[in-house]
Amino acid sequence: MPTETSIAKLNQFIRWGSVAAILIAVLVIFRTLPINLVTSAMNEWIGGLGWWGPIVLVLLYIVATILFVPGTILTLAAGAIFGLAVGTIVVSIGSTVGAALAFLISRYVAREKVAKLAEDNRRFAAIDRAIEEGGWKIVGLLRLSPALPFNLQNYLYGLTPIRFWPYVFTSWLAMLPATFLYVYLGHITGAAVSADRERTPAEWAMLAVGLLATIAVTIYVTRLASRKLNEQVDQDQRDDTETLNEPKPTEDPNTRRTFALAGLALASVLFATYVSMNSERIKQTVTGWFGPPAVESTESHDVNPAGPSIDHSLLSELLASHVQEGGWVNYEALRDDTGKLDRYLSVVASAPWDKLGRDEKLALLLNGYNASTLKLILDHYPVQSIKDIPAADRWDAVRWNIGGNTWSLNQIEHEQIRPHFKEPRIHFALVCAAVGCPPLRREAYDADRLDEQLEDQTQIVHDHATWFEYLNGDNELRLTKLYDWYGDDFTQAAESIPRFAASYSQPLQRSIDSDQTPTITWLPYDWSLNSNLNRQPR
């Protein structure tokens, strides 16, 4: 028959194994799912709210706390979006205010319902008496211990004798360690999936050391609080048992927690397995929610060789003067030439859209997009990245006149170009003013040479490691995330993404011809401004 000591050791072994399984499952899930799209979308939305962003997240946290919705996702999001300092402040305010409101609801609005919920819980009765004797100290220990779920605690405290302000202050202080831990995890996650730039090994080491230290301190404080709390509460439970002449419960609460943790670990592993086996389908779904919209590319415009032509020479002069080899832009000099850029945008606006042929329209859209992006940067210059511009003023701002039609940059790309031209090479011609974007050509696109220019531009992209690299020995294909974001556009033109890319790489073509399927990895996408100040090897 197993002894209590052997059972305790088995419980401990299962708990630690369960924690390890949960951590591995979480890593698999984060590595498999396109978390960067979700984070980027939330960042876009909240970041676009300006100083309202933190306030909105605080309000969301308060509502989630009152409605018993776990705040873990919001806490992780706060860390990923706002960083450690602001993220911790936002979550701390939201969780504390939410806890205070739940306390007041329990004490003054829904006391009978909450009391009915707690009346059969013998452990709560013991906690109630412990709080009556120990006051805020017991509340602090409970906040640091996983003895009761956070959202449930908020309501149950309203039934206890503790006063409001000691409860609020103690809750705020005791929740800080776990708050900081989850914000830190969110910060790490945001750093891991961020495509802004590739972090150095030293930066990753510092982040990892800080995370491990935070976890260690949190675990230590939690275990210490749990031990002290059990000393207080278990004594009250024993007194209850003796008073009622009932035998001491034979089921160890630690065993119950062990089974619960093991169940959570099993669920996490099963979910991680499902995600891994269905990664592509899930990725397509999530991309549809948060990424560029999926479109079915068709050729919608007539060739119309007899139609009018547009003179793009003004843009060619600007690009030749202010764009250096490799696509680096001298924005300071371009700012002094804003008048010429404005005159060219007037030419774009006055173009007879309905009379233009297919190639004239595509050249107009490509040039109009790139010229409008340059104007957008100049309107907010100096900026370190196009993402520094408020979201409302950036890709969704309906302000750019193309042939008498006022569109946003997103509308130009996703509504006017992608659905109406079966031409995936446009993704290497549209330039969003970032280092990770394809290089800006030193000439405008011209309808008479459009196919030649697009082919040359696509080849340039595949000749540089910033966007394309095929490691023949490892059969690894490293691609710009443009292929990831717009995968359907490329597969509509070729059987697969590797086959499209192979058109511009003989080693990759030979590998595919020999029935070798390369492993695809995505290159970091640097959103730093494509200025000559950020010039680097391509």
The predicted-structure confidence for 429-446, as pLDDT tens digits, reads as follows 999 999 999 999 999 999
Identity of the amino acid at 369: Y
Contact assessment for residue 37 and residue 285, using Cβ atoms and an 8 Å cutoff: no
In a domain, 70, yes or no: yes
pLDDT of 197 reads 41
Report whether pLDDT(241) > 60: no
Buried b (16+ CB within 10 A) or exposed e, 128-164: bbbbeebbbbbbbbbbbbebbebbbbbbbbbbbebee
Last residue of a domain, one of 245, 262, 290: 245
Which runs of consecutive H residues, i.e. helices, occur in 381-495? Answer: 409-411, 450-462, 481-485, 487-491
Position 501 scores a pLDDT of: 94
| Predicted pLDDT of residue 328 | 96
Per-residue pLDDT, 409: 95
Assigned domain for 508 exists: no
Dihedral, CA atoms, 116, 119, 123, 124, nearest 10 degrees? Answer: 60
The answer to whether residue 395 is domain-embedded is: yes
DSSP 385-397: BGGGS-GGGTTT-
**Among 259-273, 380-394, 408-422, 524-538, whose mean pLDDT is lowest?**
259-273
CB atoms within 10 A of CB 506: 10
pLDDT band with cut points at 50, 70 and 90 for residue 152: confident
Whole-number pLDDT of residue 243? 43
Question: In this predicted structure, which of 342-351, 370-379, 381-390 has the lowest mean pLDDT?
Answer: 381-390
Of 108-117, 208-217, 392-401, where does the model show the most confidence?
Answer: 392-401
Cα of first residue to Cα of last residue in the chain, in angstroms, is 69
Strongest mean pLDDT among 150-154, 227-231, 386-390: 386-390
Q: Which of 230, 245, 260 is the last residue of a domain?
A: 245
pLDDT confidence bin for 426, thresholds 50/70/90: very high
Name residue 529's beta-bridge partners: 434
Average pLDDT on 101-127 reads 69
Interval 121-137: pLDDT, tens: 555 555 555 565 556 66
Give the position of tokens 């009556």. Answer: 132
Residues 350 and 211 in one domain: no
**In this predicted structure, what is the pLDDT of residue 43?**
62
Give me the torsion for CA of 437, 443, 449, 454, rounded to 10°. Answer: -10
Does 293 reside within a domain? Answer: no
Predicted confidence (pLDDT) at residue 313 exceeds the cutoff of 80: yes
Higher pLDDT, 144 or 382: 382
Domain count, the chain: 2
The pLDDT confidence band at residue 196, using thresholds 50, 70 and 90, is very low
Q: How many Å apart are CA 62 and CA 65, to the nearest integer?
A: 5
Query: pLDDT band at residue 524, thresholds of 50, 70 and 90?
Result: confident
**Residue 336 above 70 pLDDT?**
yes
pLDDT in tens, 314-334: 999 999 999 999 999 999 999
Query: Domain containing 82: what range?
Result: 57-245
Label the pairing between strands 476-479 and 519-522: parallel
Q: Are residues 192 and 323 in the same domain?
A: no
Q: What is the structure's pLDDT at 76? A: 76
List all residues 6 or more positions away from 289 whose beta carbon is below 8 Å from its beta carbon.
Answer: 37, 41
Q: Is residue 336 part of a domain?
A: yes
365 found inside a domain: yes
Residue 66 located in a structural domain = yes
Q: What is the mean pLDDT of residues 35-54?
A: 65
Same domain, 67 and 198: yes
**According to the model, what pLDDT value does residue 248 have?**
47
Do 111 and 221 belong to one domain?
yes
pLDDT in tens, 48-102: 566 777 888 889 889 888 887 777 777 877 887 788 888 889 999 998 998 899 8
Question: Where a domain ends, among 245, 268, 291?
Answer: 245
Is the domain of 110 the same as that of 207?
yes
Judge whether 533 and 527 are in contact, CB under 8 Å: no
Percentage of the chain exceeding pLDDT 90: 37
Q: Give 407's strand partners.
A: 400
Residue 288 lies inside a defined structural domain of this protein? no
